[in-house]
Structure 1
Amino acid sequence: MTFDPGQHGWKPERNPENPGYTGLVGPLWSRQEAEGQWAYAFLAEPKHLNARNLVHGGMLMTFADQFMGRTVYHAVDRQACVTVGLNSQFVAPAREGDLVEGRGRIVRRTRSLVFIQGSLTVAGAEVMVCDGIWKILGQ
C-alpha cells in the first residue's frame, strides 16, 4: 500500500528536521477533522511488527500516548502536559500496510488533570481502546 498523506489531508505530526522519538516510530500524521477535533495516524511498516508479523502492542501503546497527549495539548490551549496513566485493551490485530488511526475524546478536565478516552481503528474497525490521565504542567 502506498500512502499519500496529502491526498487525504494528513500532515506530518512532527518537524521532519527534528523528529525526536517520533522519528524512531513514525512518521505519524495528523489532520483536523472538525473545530477542536483531531485525528492521528501511522502506516504500519515492518519496523512496527512483532514476531507474529502483527503490529506490536508496544507500538500501539506508543501511538496512543502520542495522539492522546496531542489531543489533550489542543484541549488545554497548548499548555505543556505529561502522561500520568495510560490503560489499554487490545481488541483486534493491526497488520503491515494498515493505516492505524487514533482519535481521543476528553471526558473530564480539572484545574490540573485531563481524563481522556481513545480508540485506534483500521478501516473503521477498532483494534485498541484506551483511557488515560494527563497532568497539565504548572498547575
Structure 2
Amino acid sequence: MSNYERLLSWVLKYGRLPRKSDGGRAASLRRWIDGERGENLLRLHLEQRRLLDLVADALRVRGQNFWEPRQEKWWQHADEVEAFLRREGQPPLSSSSDTYEKKLGKWLSKQRRRNRDGRLDTEQRGWLRHVPVRRNRGHKPGQ
C-alpha cells in the first residue's frame, strides 16, 4: 500500500489528517505529508494526484481543506499545549516568565477568545473544552 493510499484510508477512517502527536504510523505519515505538500505535488503521477484529490474531497466534506496548511498549524500548536499539559500537569500561563510557556499560554488564551467569538470549528471547540483553565500563580480561590 502506498503512502497515498494510507493517507486516504486514514482520512476516511478519522475524518482528518494525521498529526505527529497521534504517534506511530500516523506520525510517520504526517512527516511524509509535510514533505509532499507544496513543490513536490507538482511532480506527482496521475494516479498519485487522483488519490490526493480523493483525500482533499473527503476532508472538504468535513469542512477541512487539505491545501490550507493554516489549519494544520493550529493543530501543531494544540499538540504543543497537550505535550505541555502532560509534562507539567497544568496548562501554560500567558503571564509566565518562561518564554516557551508564555508563547503557548498566549496562543491558548487567543483560542479561548476565538471560541467565545464563535470563530473555532467543531473539532477545535471540542479540543479546547478538554483543556483545563488555569489561574495565575498568585490567584487564590474566591478572589
What TM-score does the superposition give when structure 1 sets the normalisation length? 0.31
Q: Which structure features the higher share of strand residues?
A: 1
Specify the structure having the higher radius of gyration (Cα). Answer: 2
What TM-score does the superposition give when structure 2 sets the normalisation length? 0.31
Relative contact order higher in (CA < 8 Å, ≥ 6 apart): 1
